[in-house]
Amino acid sequence: MPDQLIVCKSCGFSVNEDKRNDETGGAHLLKHLETLYDQWPRKAELTLEATGCLCICDQPCAIAYVGTGKPTYLFADLDPTTCAADLLTAAELYLDSNDGMVSAYKLPPELQTRRIARIPPAP
């Protein structure tokens, strides 16, 4: 089963700005990601998914990486206008790690302080 990058499509652009031009920050991010994902050579290894909420609504935008036998990573406080390419770079690191462990210093600089949780896989 491929790993997943899950985007909260309901998140705002920031704590103080839910929508721009009637579009949520999460929807904006998802659209940008889909554009890059179309040309991404590793599509077979990771699916792009959307969800209604990741329960971290006070820190938009939020996304998660999920993989079988790998920890789940939650990222928040992302700028939906600029982070899409970095998220795919981080996805490649996640894919390249057999156990899913990715050191923060290896992440794109803008993401290094945005990772807020690592949840161990089910045994």
Residues interacting with ligand FES, by CB under 6 A?
A: 8, 10-11, 26, 53-57, 60, 62
We find the least distance from the C-beta atom of residue 59 to ligand FES, in angstroms, to be 8
For residues 59 and 64, give the distance between their C-alpha atoms in angstroms, rounded to a whole number.
13
Q: Is the CB of 20 or the CB of 42 nearer to ligand FES? A: 20
DSSP at 17: B
Q: Is the CB of 11 or the CB of 84 nearer to ligand FES? A: 11
| Contact of 14 with 62, CB cutoff 8 Å | no
DSSP at 105: G
Q: Is the CB of 46 or the CB of 63 nearer to ligand FES? A: 63
We find the least distance from the C-beta atom of residue 6 to ligand FES, in angstroms, to be 10
Q: Which two tokens stand for residue 89?
A: 């770079």
